[in-house]
Amino acid sequence: MSDCNGTTRVRSRSGCLFILRSDERGIAMLTVLMMMLMLTVLGIAAMTVSGLENNMAGLQRTMEASGQAAESCLGTGANIIQQVFLPENGTQVPAVLLDNNVPPGPVPNGNKTVLENELIGNPENLTDVPTGTGAAPNLRMTVGPYAVAGDIDRLYVKMKAGSGQQQFSAYEGTGVGAGANGVDAYYRIKCVATNTATGTESAVSAIYACSLSGDGCQKQP
């Protein structure tokens, strides 16, 4: 029952009389609405944070995959240098490494001469780049969803460590001398992996010291 002042009297089963005012019922409803609004905001925030975390995890996996694709290109570039300087190849790119071979190799046949000049140190061929304007990659690869292009540039030549006697007498032990091809050529290999679906790129580069007698290449720290 209600009186003229807007109050409501409610009698409980125990016989107690409670008096509720109409303005108190309004405050209770406002409190409930505020709590519902806060819970809604918290729910939306949680969904947004979860979505951002998933996007960041996906981006990290993509960057790792593209980095691995570019890293594999570095190893291929070092192997190409080693193969070219094997005595039986005479500073020529072996046919098995050319892209017109079956199966195709990583070296574009049209860029074979340019690559050979770069490997022997022809300075006229140090301005090419693997991607972008004026791109003339020395090698091309496909690694999963990534198109990988690489460029090899010769930097300088350095004699291997050893005494003067070792250098000039072709000493065959530790610190082999110049008379026994004790010379390393240092190369910079740069590789760019491009996701063919999204167009995103990941680039890596490294310096390799390579024996001019075809004994191999060592990645420099």
| Per-residue pLDDT tens digits for 25-62 | 667 777 878 888 888 888 787 777 766 666 665 555 65
Structure pTM?
Answer: 0.65
| pLDDT band per the 50, 70, 90 thresholds, residue 166 | very low
| pLDDT band per the 50, 70, 90 thresholds, residue 196 | confident
Domain membership flag for residue 115: yes
Cβ atoms within 10 Å, residue 27: 10
Domain count, the chain: 1
| pLDDT band per the 50, 70, 90 thresholds, residue 108 | very high
Cβ neighbours for 86, distance < 8 A, ≥ 6 positions apart: 214
| pLDDT band per the 50, 70, 90 thresholds, residue 88 | very high
The torsion region of residue 162 among left (phi > 0), alpha (psi -120 to 50) and beta comes to left
Domain membership flag for residue 26: no
Q: What is Dmax (Cα atoms) for the chain?
A: 121
CA 50 to chain centre: 25
pLDDT at 126: 64
Give the range among 67-76, 81-90, 155-164 with minimum mean pLDDT: 155-164
* Domain membership of residue 73 as a residue range: 50-219
Domain membership flag for residue 32: no
Domain membership flag for residue 22: no
Determine what percent of the chain is predicted with pLDDT higher than 90. Answer: 32
| pLDDT band per the 50, 70, 90 thresholds, residue 176 | very low
What is the tens place of the pLDDT at every residue in 117-159?
Answer: 989 887 666 667 777 776 788 999 998 888 999 999 999 998 8
Mean pLDDT within 192-220: 88
pLDDT at 209: 94
Domain membership flag for residue 83: yes
Query: Environment class of residue 56 by beta-carbon count within 10 Å: exposed (0-12), middle (13-18) or buried (19+)?
Result: exposed
pLDDT at 59: 57
